[in-house]
């Protein structure tokens, strides 16, 4: 979606449409779920850290787009880059939680 030939990557028209109509709404829905269920996150430092990175990335991305700037947030700040380990950390946390739950007894 980014033009690789530019010194600063910019989105082409198709990439902008996909980002505007699919990617950004998906990001916003994910953040709404995180906000609604934040009490379930618990004390997992890796999970809290990656969620913070994800929130920072989306905040910078939204601010750039509102200004009409279609560059990659990573170009503006390395800390604003997409949390590439987001899915992995979330999946690991789900697996760990499932293991804990599987080991618990249910009292009837």
pTM of the model: 0.76
| CA separation for the pair 95, 76 (Å, rounded) | 34
The residue that leads in pLDDT, 108 or 40, is 40
| CA separation for the pair 60, 66 (Å, rounded) | 10
Residue 1 pLDDT: 54
Residue 21 pLDDT: 92
Instruction: Supply the mean pLDDT for the chain.
Output: 85
CB atoms closer than 10 angstroms to residue 79: 12
Token pair of 56, please? Answer: 């920072």
| CA separation for the pair 38, 107 (Å, rounded) | 27
Angle 3-64-71 (CA atoms, 0-180°, nearest 5)?
15
């Amino acid at each position: 979606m980014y033009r690789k030939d530019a010194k600063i990557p910019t989105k082409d028209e198709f990439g902008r449409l996909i980002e505007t109509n699919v990617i950004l709404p998906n990001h916003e829905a994910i953040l709404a779920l995180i906000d609604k269920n934040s009490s379930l996150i618990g004390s997992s430092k890796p999970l809290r850290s990656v969620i913070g990175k994800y929130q920072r990335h989306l905040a910078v991305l939204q601010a750039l787009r509102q200004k009409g700037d279609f560059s990659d947030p990573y170009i503006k700040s390395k800390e604003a880059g997409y949390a590439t380990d987001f899915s992995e950390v979330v999946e690991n946390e789900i697996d760990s939680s499932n293991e804990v739950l599987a080991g618990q007894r249910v009292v009837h």
